[in-house]
Amino acid sequence: MADLIVRFRKPADWADSVHIHYWNTRPQGRDSSWPGVPMAEEDGWLVHRFTGTTAASFVFNDGQGRQTGDLYRDADGWYAQDGRWHDRPPGPVPTATALDTLSAPAPSSARSRTAPRSAATQADRAGLPDFREETIYFLLTARFYDGDPSNNFFCRDRIRFDAAGNAVDPHWRGDFKGLIRRLDYIRDLGFSAIWITPPIENRSGLDYHGYHGYDWTRIDPRLESPDATYQHLIDAAHARGIKIIQDVVVNHSCQYGIRGQAWIDHLPIKYYVPQGSEPGRVDHGPYQGNLGNYAWPNRDDIDNPRAPDWYRERHTRDPEGTEPLVDPQTGETVPKPGYEPGRFFGIDANRLDPAWYHQEGFIAGGDWESAHPLQHKHLAGDCIDLATERENVKEYLIGSINRYLDMGVDALRIDTVKHIERDNLLEYVNAWKAHKPGLFVFGENLVKGYGWGDLGGGDNGPSQIRPWWYTRLGHDPRDPESGGDSGFPQLDFGLFSTFRDNLSRGSFEGVGRVLEMDWIYGNATELVTFLQNHDVGPDNDFRFRFKGEQWMAAAAYNLLWTVRGIPCLYFGEEIEFMKGAPQDIIGNDDTLESTGRAYFGDRIDDAHLAATQNHPLYRHIRRLNQIRRAIPALQKAPMSQLAEWGCGLSFVRDWNQGESYAVVGLTIGGGQDIQVGGVRDGLYRDAVTGDERQAQGGNLSFHVKANSAGIYVLEGPGKLGEDGPYLR
């Protein structure tokens, strides 16, 4: 068997040492460990010989953040600075300035903003899962369904009391046992992947959501039961054909450090006494006597081995917090009513351990639209910015998440992406993908605009903190095509940001403008699309759950399930749960039951499950999932022939040169006669109505009823699912 030999020409700005990381080799099936093996130089090219190999997937990288996209080769080849494979040595290297990336930008005059960007070919994904085939159900585990009341827990902030003064609605209420019991609900709705909020152990006054990490190596015990651990959840989901997406925070820890790794100086909370009170007199629902953890015998919040001796000594005794304790910083004695609250709850950025944390203070004012402060200052008082560029931080976070990948986690969602410099963050992403080849990883880069950065369009921030930048490898903020696909798609905040001005007003106007910009992304077909989530909704100032008419929401789902990208539904959308409520607490006295994070379990318990599953939007989304699952073009194909006219939208999805081919027409408001040109000739069948139409001379005409969709598939299966008010 002949060896497979690949050659690579290194850009001038890469590090001297270049590696090749490979996987899925044929026939041996060998994988390397990230960053791979060093490449040798030969005749001006970097060379790697795959012994006894006919084909392989691989990435060239310099171990310092510069890399190509995922590559595949089944014959000898030369990969040049033009970003293309050559079967023989290409011409001389360009003598212009050092190239930043491997993909030469096309002249702006040659770009077509309506032409589809090429999606990854089947060869690129040989033998690996394709997450574009999935649809995602996103939930806050602690607010979804309560299967084990014994692990319920009240945070010490925003406690809800009933009329009799009893604490009700524990913040930590849903759990893995409850989620396992309702996996069939999610499967019946048609979703094949569940995105859960970070399950690692958390610490803060309001930590039920999971984004205040304290120990990345441990699952929070408030989510688990003896017969319903994280492993039980993963296994139960897989048994139903459902994938698990784990939410991961790389950017920050909680304000108390990281168990066993980093200590942030605080006084024990059990010694805190509010102004005007006395020691032992706190009356805060479950918190009687003091604000220490009411569920632990020692009433302390933090069990960190990195804490100093004086703290660890107090951690194991004096649960009531009444023994005098001298503050090592000031010499004053606590408990003392009104004593500086910052010593219990605050952060002194100048005293943080520089081995683990940045020390440049907190984000404020104009910092929010500037790369350096966003990526080196602290997000909030309970989100302390990790020094993600340090090797010890990388080793800890990468190794911790690798354990969950080994347990069977199928994909990762990365939080607060724009708060970490792109090339630095890609080190984490690539390490996880190297550990589990084929892993799908996407990020959250929250923008309230189109996200075009230096490309224009009214954005306030530069490209380096915008979603498209993280999907690319280049370093030209005005030219996305200066670099190839990073393999790190993002949540599609650009498309979402238009919904306030169109779908929430019963129109598609402006949607086309955003879809025409798909060329800026590394691979727009891998973006994760959504109408709302736990942070934002498409109304007013983005603070509220969708409050428009039901038919408007249905039109949004018709759009999201047929345009490029992977649709994601936030729990409760299927029944207009908490419609118009703020997504998170806003007022000083808000509690969770008045927000979009209200407990959902009451709607899916045995007494109410049938009514929930009969809701028009539930049935609508279930049918959309059925249709998308049957048509590969809706899952994976780029878009072309895009036309938008306010009350209508049409486009073509062509997967693998006609292997799966769909012509889509959407209406919002009244019915529409739709004509699409430049299509393949042949017999089309509508997945919505079963109507058959013949395309001749490249033209296809059809009618779509009001607030519905026409999904005409070339030689398609015909009608899928049952009619409803929004698909008929």
Does residue 80 lie within any of the structural domains? yes
Range of the domain at 640: 636-714
| Range in 7-11, 144-148, 533-537 with the lowest mean pLDDT | 7-11
For residue 2, is pLDDT > 90? no
Does residue 544 lie within any of the structural domains? no
pTM as predicted:
0.86
Give pLDDT, residue 127.
67
Task: List pLDDT tens digits, range 574-624.
Answer: 999 999 999 999 999 999 999 999 999 999 999 999 999 999 999 999 999
Task: List pLDDT tens digits, range 10-41.
Answer: 988 888 899 999 987 888 888 888 889 999 99
Structure tokens at 72: 């595949």
**pLDDT band, very low/low/confident/very high, at 100 (cuts 50, 70, 90):** very low
Q: Average pLDDT of the chain?
A: 92
Does residue 253 lie within any of the structural domains? no
For residue 457, is pLDDT > 80? no
Domain count, the chain: 3
The maximal CA–CA distance of the chain, rounded, in angstroms, is: 89
User: Rounded to the nearest 10 degrees, what angle do helices 616-630 and 550-560 cross at?
Assistant: 10
Which of 104, 138, 157 is the C-terminal boundary of a domain?
104
Does residue 542 lie within any of the structural domains? no
Cα end-to-end span (Å), the chain? 57
Give pLDDT, residue 395.
97
Mean pLDDT value of segment 472-477 = 96
**pLDDT band, very low/low/confident/very high, at 383 (cuts 50, 70, 90):** very high
Give pLDDT, residue 37.
93
Local structure of 258: helix, strand or coil:
strand
Give pLDDT, residue 405.
98
For residue 231, is pLDDT > 80? yes
| Range in 67-71, 187-191, 347-351 with the lowest mean pLDDT | 67-71
Long-range interactions of 466-470: CB distance < 8 A, separation 24+: 466/418, 467/417, 467/443, 467/491, 467/492, 467/493, 467/494, 467/521, 468/520, 468/521, 469/422, 470/417, 470/418, 470/422, 470/425, 470/443, 470/445
**pLDDT band, very low/low/confident/very high, at 281 (cuts 50, 70, 90):** very high
Task: List pLDDT tens digits, range 33-77.
Answer: 888 999 999 988 999 999 989 888 888 998 877 788 778 888 899
Does residue 423 lie within any of the structural domains? no
The CATH number of residue 644's host domain is 2.60.40.1180
For residue 526, is pLDDT > 90? yes
- What is the number of other CB atoms lying within 10 angstroms of the CB of residue 17? 13
**pLDDT band, very low/low/confident/very high, at 112 (cuts 50, 70, 90):** very low
The CATH number of residue 84's host domain is 2.60.40.10
Contact (CB, 8 A) for 422 and 462: no
Does residue 9 lie within any of the structural domains? yes
Q: Distance of alpha carbon 292 from its chain centroid, rounded?
A: 33
Which of 299, 315, 346 is the C-terminal boundary of a domain?
346
Phi-psi region of 480 (alpha: psi -120 to 50; beta: other; left: phi over 0): alpha
| Range in 93-107, 143-157, 329-343, 605-619 with the lowest mean pLDDT | 93-107
Does residue 654 lie within any of the structural domains? yes
Which of 346, 365, 394 is the C-terminal boundary of a domain?
346
Does residue 202 lie within any of the structural domains? no
